[in-house]
Amino acid sequence: MHPLVHGDYPPVMRKNVGSRLPSFTAEELKRVLGSFDFVGFNHYGAAYVKADLSKLDQKLRDFMGDAAVKYDTMPFLNSKNQLLFGSKMGLMSSTAWSMRKMLEHLQVKYKNPVVMIHENGKFY
């Protein structure tokens, strides 16, 4: 969303990803900025994370490393790396507060775009 609304990636993303993050040309920026009609939103729950800046020291990184966080539990997985469903989702649970928080974030950070909630709720 950040490039679509603000014209570039968030500063923390630029810092964490560095030269691996592509830059926009002036023409691309002109095309990207404001180029959406609505935000499509799928919400299933919240996962608890803690900052783990040591991940930024890894030589080879992926999305998880660039996020520089440690999950209390991996989303959608239990300690045996099995998918979680329904009431067994543990820390990854469907919560109204987390959806409300995300909608407030979109409103404040991204100038209150039109939002369509496509999916939400627990897995069954």
Active site residue 119: yes
Task: Give Rg (Cα) of the chain.
Answer: 17
Provide φ and ψ at 113, rounded to 5°.
Answer: -70, 160
Integer CA distances (angstroms), 25 to 17, 22, 33, in order: 18, 10, 12
> Residue with structure tokens 């995300």?
102
Residue 105 CB burial class (10 angstroms; 0-12, 13-18, ≥19): exposed
Choosing from 27, 28, 104, 119, the catalytic residue is 119
Tell me which residues are annotated as active site: 119
